[in-house]
A and B are shown apart, each in its own frame.
Chain A
Amino acid sequence: GAVVSQHPSRVICKSGTSVKIECRSLDFQATTMFWYRQFPKQSLMLMATSNEGSKATYEQGVEKDKFLINHASLTLSTLTVTSAHPEDSSFYICSAMGGGIQYFGAGTRLSVL
Chain B
Amino acid sequence: KNQVEQSPQSLIILEGKNCTLQCNYTVSPFSNLRWYKQDTGRGPVSLTIMTFSENTKSNGRYTATLDADTKQSSLHITASQLSDSASYICVVSASSNDYKLSFGAGTTVTVRA
Contact = CB atoms under 8 A, between A and B. Distances in A.
B45 A104 contact: yes
Interface string B61-98: 00000000000000000000000000001000000111
A82 B2 CA distance: 30
Contact of A107 (B41, B103, B108): B41
Interface string A1-24: 000101001000000000000000
Contacts of B12: none
B1 interface: no
A54 interface: no
Contacts, number: 45
Given A41-B108, A43-B104, A43-B106, A6 B98 contact: no
Given A107-B41, A107-B42, A102 B96 contact: no
Interface string A36-75: 0000011110100100000000000000000000000000
Contact of A109 (B41, B97, B99): B41
B43 A102 contact: no
Contact of A104 (B4, B44, B96, B105): B44
Contact of A41 (B36, B44, B49, B105): B105
Given A100-B96, A100-B97, A101-B98, A42 B105 contact: yes
A4 to B, nearest CB: 8
A6 B98 CA distance: 20
A67 B45 CA distance: 25
A11 B110 CA distance: 27
The list of the 7 closest CB pairs from A to B, nearest first, reads: A43-B103, A104-B43, A106-B43, A107-B43, A43-B105, A100-B97, A104-B44
